[in-house]
Amino acid sequence: MKSPAISWLKLMLRQQDDLICATSIRQQGNMSLLYGDTKGALRNREDFLKGFGIEYRDLVCARQVHASGVRYVKEEDKGKGALSYDTALADTDALVTDKKKLPLAVFTADCLSIFLYDSKTPAVGLVHAGWRSSQKKITAKTIKLMQKEFNTQIENIHLGFGPAIRQCCYEVGADFKDFFPAEFLIKKNERFYLDLIGLNKKQSLGLGVKESNISDCGICTSCRNREFFSYRKEGDSCGRMISVIMLK
């Protein structure tokens, strides 16, 4: 079974022949080695990735901590976190690389996966953005690292937002008014809902990313819990989807 996300990923990142990017759905199984029922996670990864010609043992994974650590992934990092959570890159929530055949992965279940593609260098990035990471401007930090390491020109960046909990469902406390601008807190029936996508989009636009180069799949993981894992709906037993990007 192929993910319905694949088609919009190809479109929104102006996919070229040198790029692979995809997000799994829950019917393809839990992809996490830490959360949910992990018994079949390695087989699930293998089955999902082989359809794209990606060797699951080559995955580079982050030990996501809801912070703003960004890592430049190099050849010596190949396979870190692929077979064991303990070997994943520590204290990291975003990955960038200009190396070919080096697949980057993040894992989500309501948090936002953000795909970055520098079409000229070429280079790619992949971000795991929850509210804490977004507050710390992780998307902006990832773009800045690509500029530093790859001399990425801002006009060449294409950015795509994957499935995530949306403002329709992402209820937060009134104290979030202390963390985020009012424009990203939607008030309904005396309750507040966070626009995680809008927040990260503004960070990107603020650095000069073209609005025409930004796309959003529009999928809410909470609304579509039958197709996507949602921590808000399922709690601690929740599995995780995998998002992956790789230069061929």
Task: Kindly list the structural domains of the chain, giving each domain's residue range(s) and its CATH number in brackets, ordered by start.
Answer: 5-247 (3.60.140.10)
Residue 122: asked if its preceding bond is cis (omega within 30°), the reply is yes
Model pLDDT, residue 16 = 59
Model pLDDT, residue 12 = 46
Q: Which residues, in sequence order, are CB contacts of 190 under 8 Å at separation 6+?
A: none
Q: Which residues, in sequence order, are CB contacts of 236 under 8 Å at separation 6+?
A: 35
- Residue 235: left (phi > 0), alpha (psi -120 to 50), or beta? left
What's the average pLDDT block by block, 10 residues per block, for the chain (248 residues)? Answer: 47 63 92 97 96 95 96 98 97 98 98 94 97 97 98 95 96 95 94 97 96 92 96 96 94
Count the Cβ atoms, other than its own, within 10 Å of residue 234.
16
Model pLDDT, residue 21 = 87
Residue 90 has which token pair? 């520590």
Model pLDDT, residue 9 = 54
The arrangement of strands across the sheet holding 241-247 comes to 19-23, 241-247, 104-108, 60-61
Model pLDDT, residue 11 = 45
Model pLDDT, residue 4 = 44
Q: Residue 234, SS3?
A: helix
Amino acid at 13: L
pTM of the model: 0.94
174-178 LR contacts (CB < 8 Å, sep 24+): 176/131
